Structure 1
Amino acid sequence: MTSTILPPSTNATPPPGPGGGFGPLARQIREAGLLEPHRDFFLATAILDLGLLWLTGTLMVALQGSWWALAIAPLAAIAAAQLSFLGHDIGHHQVFTDRRYEWIAGVLVGNLLTGLSFGWWNDKHHRHHANPNVDGVDPDVADNVIAWSDRQAARRTGFGLWFAKHQASFFLPLLTFTGWSLRVQGVRALSERKGWKGVVEAALLAIHVAAVIGFLWWIAGPVFAVVFILVMNLCYGLIMGMSFAPNHKGMATPEPGQRWDHLRKQVLTSRNIAGSVLVDWWYGGLNHQIEHHLFPSMPRPNLKRAQPIVRQYCAELGLPYHEVSVVQSYREIWAHLDQVA
């Protein structure tokens, strides 16, 4: 299914207007009750995710002493990815209204169970939400390895320029390192963070690392532990990278100095992915990226219900609403990387 008016990479200047017409849409969403808490869903999700983690451990215990346990690494990566999506929900105030409970749940799911710094990721992710696809402001399009825009490619020289010209070929392999990148950046941020929250986060990360290494060592020895961690994190990186990349990559990028209103800033830079309940689960609800960016605190199960309201409202304003299939989303990303090259 494809629903769009605007080619993904087009940078059409949105029409001016105070608030950009977001208020009436927000009222419709609020009156429909779509911002109300959905605690039953998140309780069920937590039970399902923890059950998947338990299944992973149980299968590995059953294969103790055998390298066949390495075949469980992809399942472990899926469990970690689903827990990461739950941490994402928590960080967006979808689960708790009390920030104390939110932080406790966030560090337990993020630091202890997943091995990612919740505090660092939450700060980074909220900066992304405030200015999606804005070069120099959105940390998710920072000019590091991949050149995400013509402006970034134009700044490249030497090896960086050569790499940018061939980046479409390297993109998929690079996604496998997403997990390592998230972990390293989180640890680096914690090493510079002061205060008791940073100490708690660091302690929980240390417990996570010790528990994982100890468990894997017990399963089949130190060499197995190292290989399993490598394979699992490559799978985890691929899952997370391919879940987040379709959200904005190849979509509109505001020019430096442009001030887009909230509605256009979130809609024009986001891409939805059409699909079934399985797609919703695999992407952690982020396949409804337009709705999520417009209403970050909207509980995940309500995003699909909000979609027809948002789509209709965009149509009334003549505002492009971009939704494609899973396969088409990756085609557009690769086409964009080729175009930049």
Structure 2
Amino acid sequence: MPAGPSAVVAPPPSPSPSAPASPPGRAGGSDFAPLARRVREGGLLDRRPAYYARAISLNLAATAAVWAAIAWAGASWWSVLLGVPLAVVSARTAFLGHDAGHRQIARTARGNKWLGLLLGNLLLGMGHGWWNDKHNRHHANPNHVGKDPDVGEGVLAWTEEQAARQRGPLRWLARHQAALFFPLLTLEGFNLKAGSLLFLRGRSRRAQLLEGGLLLLHVAAYLGLAFMLLSPGKAVVLILVHHALFGVHLGSVFAPNHKGMEMPEPGARWGHLRRQVLTSRNVRGGAVVDWLMGGLNYQIEHHLFPGIPRCSLRRVRPLVMEHCERVGLPYTETGLVESYRQALGHMREVGAELRAEAARR
């Protein structure tokens, strides 16, 4: 998986001293219309049912094969190591659920909703409704503090102001969050399931019964399989390994997409093109990276056209790059390792003042 320096197409011109600071590119949202027209006329918005039928079938078969291997390994501790491929196929399920949430798969909203419920709630144990609520707000205002839940107040700090407000153990964590980021991701698999259940408290009775029922059915089937096939000790270890690596896998996919990119000031009014391009980073690396990241390494294209099937994003990329160059908008793309360096560098910078404060004591 190659890494290298960021590639930025058409860097922004230096603003004149008297001009107000603003993102590059022409003002207004009309910049997006010519690009959208080219993408639509190229048939790139079309659904790809055969691709998704194959992807879902292969993922179901792979999931069944992993559980069959766990049953075959039985009393051996090798069964615990099968938590590694189980984490991988779980991430594939999450990517498919994500695509259903964006209505990329089925031709109807109802069809995509049911696919999301079956893939997310039943197979993965992650709430489709919770994920859509959170993820749609992120897509509407990426990296916008106060609007994007992915950069909201929480365990990690995404701005110096957030870091300064942290207290107690969270303040210590903000000082060292770059070093602790990947270890913390081992908890993300459990966090996603807990968030899904907590979200149901404010939902309608019907949503609670449907989504909650599917989540509980997942938990019962998952725990039932683990403890039926393995001894209690091995079952617990398998569950821990599976969820820890699942969290690391998903976190490793989502972290490079926006961390360290532009963060709009409160009240900023950017058009769709600038709002999505300036806050997103692509990760290059070919077919292996495309597969490992579920197509989300084409983050700029995905944010501009969230309904495009992931298998079409690679074909959209040159159109977006060309358009950004034409309108003078930076298009950021980097290698995988460099993307982590930039994301962790931003986290390290956010905690710099707290580290300096601790050093002065």
TM-score for the superposition, normalised by structure 2: 0.90
Provide the rounded CA distance (Å) in 2 between the counterparts of 1:302 and 1:98. Answer: 19
Answering whether residue 325 of structure 2 is matched by residue 310 of structure 1, we say no
Return the match for 1:13 from 22, 27, 31: 22
Provide the rounded CA distance (Å) in 2 between the counterparts of 1:310 and 1:139. Answer: 26
Cα displacement (A) at 1:61: 1.4
Partner of 1:288: 298
SS of corresponding position for 2:331? coil
Provide the rounded CA distance (Å) in 1 between the counterparts of 2:316 and 2:113. Answer: 27
Provide the rounded CA distance (Å) in 2 between the counterparts of 1:294 and 1:313. Answer: 12
Q: Would you say the 8 A contact 1:29–1:35 is kept in 2? A: yes
Partner of 2:7: 3
**1:203-240 CA deviation, whole Å, 9 max, x = no partner?**
11111111111111111222222221111100000000
Answering whether residue 77 of structure 2 is matched by residue 77 of structure 1, we say no
Provide the rounded CA distance (Å) in 1 between the counterparts of 2:51 and 2:207. Answer: 28
SS of corresponding position for 1:322? strand
Q: Which amino acid aligns with 1:195?
A: R
Return the match for 2:44 from 34, 42, 53: 34
Q: Which amino acid aligns with 1:14?
A: P
Answering whether residue 65 of structure 2 is matched by residue 55 of structure 1, we say yes
Provide the rounded CA distance (Å) in 2 between the counterparts of 1:161 and 1:112. Answer: 37
Q: Which amino acid aligns with 1:121?
A: W
Alignment of 1:84-103 (within 5 A): 84-103=94-113
Provide the rounded CA distance (Å) in 2 between the counterparts of 1:102 and 1:161. Answer: 41
Which one has the largest radius of gyration? Answer: 2
**1:229-260 CA deviation, whole Å, 9 max, x = no partner?**
11110000000000110110111100111111
Partner of 1:189: 199
Return the match for 1:205 from 208, 215, 227: 215
Q: For this pair of structures, how many residues does the alignment match?
A: 337
Q: Which amino acid aligns with 2:318?
A: P
Return the match for 1:324 from 322, 334, 345: 334
Q: Would you say the 8 A contact 1:67–1:220 is kept in 2? A: no
**1:134-161 CA deviation, whole Å, 9 max, x = no partner?**
1111011111011111221232344433
Provide the rounded CA distance (Å) in 1 between the counterparts of 2:321 and 2:295. Answer: 17
**1:4-44 CA deviation, whole Å, 9 max, x = no partner?**
1569xxxx622562315011110011111100111111111
Provide the rounded CA distance (Å) in 2 between the counterparts of 1:320 and 1:193. Answer: 41
Q: What percentage of residue pairs aligned between the two structures are identical?
A: 46
Answering whether residue 129 of structure 2 is matched by residue 125 of structure 1, we say no
Cα displacement (A) at 1:201: 1.1
Partner of 1:152: 162
Partner of 2:356: none
Cα displacement (A) at 1:198: 2.5
Return the match for 1:256 from 266, 270, 286: 266
**1:186-207 CA deviation, whole Å, 9 max, x = no partner?**
1001133223232111111111
SS of corresponding position for 1:61? helix
Partner of 2:173: 163
Provide the rounded CA distance (Å) in 2 between the counterparts of 1:104 and 1:210. Answer: 20
Q: Which amino acid aligns with 1:51?
A: A
Q: Which amino acid aligns with 1:332?
A: Q
Provide the rounded CA distance (Å) in 2 between the counterparts of 1:19 and 1:180. Answer: 40
Cα displacement (A) at 1:67: 2.4
Unpaired segments ≥5 residues, structure 1: none
Answering whether residue 77 of structure 2 is matched by residue 67 of structure 1, we say yes
Provide the rounded CA distance (Å) in 1 between the counterparts of 2:294 and 2:91. Answer: 9
Provide the rounded CA distance (Å) in 1 between the counterparts of 2:289 and 2:217. Answer: 33
Q: Which moved more, 1:145-154 or 1:67-76?
A: 145-154
Return the match for 2:276 from 266, 271, 288: 266
Cα displacement (A) at 1:271: 0.5
SS of corresponding position for 1:146? coil
Partner of 1:176: 186
Q: Which amino acid aligns with 1:317?
A: V
RMSD over aligned Cα, in angstroms?
Answer: 1.5
Q: Would you say the 8 A contact 1:288–1:304 is kept in 2? A: yes
